[in-house]
């Protein structure tokens, strides 16, 4: 690869306009709604949430529900930057945050299931107060009440979404029948918490410099190192450094800069800070989980070590089942190993131990 152009090479701080205020975001283009959009529903609900650390709050719950009426409902939740748009559908053809995990023939097939997702409490940056995973679980229960859904056939949570699912299985066990927790356990590991603390300090330093976006971009770049593995970086970025505009630039910098710039274009610094904190506030007692749980752990995950997944399984007793995925992608394996994750979901949601009924015509093992 050659050197970046002078405009983009100095550093990210010079490529992002410094500002003490959020940069204006481009309006989302209007899209025509196909005639078959009846199976896709997007909406917002006003709710009152008694939060654990910030008192009672009025807030809006933004959700997306895709799939035929009457089909079993499965809730899908991702990391702290995930949102209600999981995959392209009749209402919105744009790719979702988990595009490869949903689709015809997949375990999460929106022609056979109703897939429900929402924007996390605080994701819009309007709540500048500590947010607990328990608050997110209570918000899920409020959403189910408003939509008239007595119980979820399943809940699939990745990373932060797994933490929320575990809280739901403790606080509202009657609202779901099966939980699949991928790369998320009962408590944060101290090493991972230290990574996040440094990321938050990068954002704080950016704010002191009247450069929120630059701080958030740097935090995201730090995060990418914790999400992935040294093995992946050795394979992708094993190249000699370059001297560009009088400065040494290593092979991974283009990738990290792009990841940071992409992130700040869609995430509020306040939202990211509060949801990052939320991971470190997370605690549950595995003995209080009231539903069957499949825990999918990734070897090499630097944020959720295998030992913590084993500890969760031991605490769950007979309600837990551990599946192990080997991947060079570490914590991000659920976004990269879509075929392998799909196979695990088919087994854990619809295998012999599952109680989720599906129409006979589905291709998912019963």
DSSP 217-273: HHHHHHHHHHHS-HHHHHHH--S--EEETTEEE-TTHHHHHHHHHHHHTT--HHHHH
Pairing of strands 242-244, 154-158: unpaired
Q: Are 299 and 54 in contact (CB under 8 A)?
A: no
Q: Which of 83, 119, 135, 159 is catalytic?
A: 159
Give the Cα separation of 227 and 281 in Å (integer). Answer: 19
Buried b (16+ CB within 10 A) or exposed e, 161-178: bbbbbbbbbbbbeebbbb
Q: Which of 83, 186, 282, 331 is catalytic?
A: 331
Q: Which of 92, 109, 119, 301 is catalytic?
A: 301
Decide if 186 is catalytic: no
Decide if 301 is catalytic: yes
Decide if 132 is catalytic: no
Short-list 99, 132, 160, 115, CA closest to 281: 132
Measured CA distances, 148 to 73, 144, 304, 306, 363 (Å): 11, 6, 35, 38, 28
Measured CA distances, 321 to 168, 240, 348 (Å): 18, 45, 9
Buried b (16+ CB within 10 A) or exposed e, 252-264: bbbebbeebbebb
What are 324's strand-pairing partners?
297
Report, as residue numbers or ranges, the catalytic residues: 159, 301, 331
């Amino acid at each position: 690869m050659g050197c970046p152009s002078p405009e983009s090479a100095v550093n990210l701080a010079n490529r992002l306009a410094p500002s003490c205020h959020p940069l204006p975001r481009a309006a989302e283009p209007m899209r025509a709604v196909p005639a078959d959009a009846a199976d896709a529903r997007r909406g917002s609900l006003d709710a009152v949430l008694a939060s654990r650390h910030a008192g009672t709050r009025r807030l809006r719950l933004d959700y997306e529900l895709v799939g035929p009426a009457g089909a079993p409902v499965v809730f899908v939740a991702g990391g702290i930057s995930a949102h209600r748009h999981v995959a392209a559908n009749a209402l919105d053809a744009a790719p979702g945050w988990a595009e490869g995990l949903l689709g015809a023939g997949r375990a999460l097939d929106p022609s056979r299931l109703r897939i429900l997702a929402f924007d996390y409490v605080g994701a819009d940056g309007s709540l500048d107060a500590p947010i607990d995973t328990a608050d997110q679980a209570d918000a899920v229960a409020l959403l189910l009440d408003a939509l008239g859904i007595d119980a979820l056939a399943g809940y699939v949570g990745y990373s932060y979404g797994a933490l929320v699912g575990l809280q739901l299985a403790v606080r509202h066990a009657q609202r779901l029948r099966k939980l699949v927790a991928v790369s998320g356990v009962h408590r944060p590991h101290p090493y991972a918490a230290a990574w996040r603390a440094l990321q938050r300090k990068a954002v704080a330093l950016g704010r002191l410099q009247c450069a929120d976006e630059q701080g958030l971009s740097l935090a995201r770049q730090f995060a990418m190192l914790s999400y992935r593995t040294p093995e992946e970086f050795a394979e992708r970025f094993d190249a000699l450094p370059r001297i560009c505009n009088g400065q040494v630039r290593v092979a991974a910098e283009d990738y990290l800069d792009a990841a940071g710039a992409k992130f700040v274009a869609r995430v509020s610094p306040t939202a990211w800070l509060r949801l990052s904190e939320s991971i470190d506030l997370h605690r549950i007692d595995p003995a209080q989980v009231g539903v069957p749980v499949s825990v999918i752990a990734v070897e090499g995950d630097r944020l959720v070590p295998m030992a913590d997944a084993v500890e969760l399984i031991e605490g769950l007793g007979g309600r837990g089942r551990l599946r192990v995925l080997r991947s060079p992608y570490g914590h991000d394996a659920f976004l990269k190993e879509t075929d392998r994750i799909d196979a695990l979901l088919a087994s854990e949601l619809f295998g012999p131990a599952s109680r989720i009924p599906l129409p006979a015509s589905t291709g998912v093992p019963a």
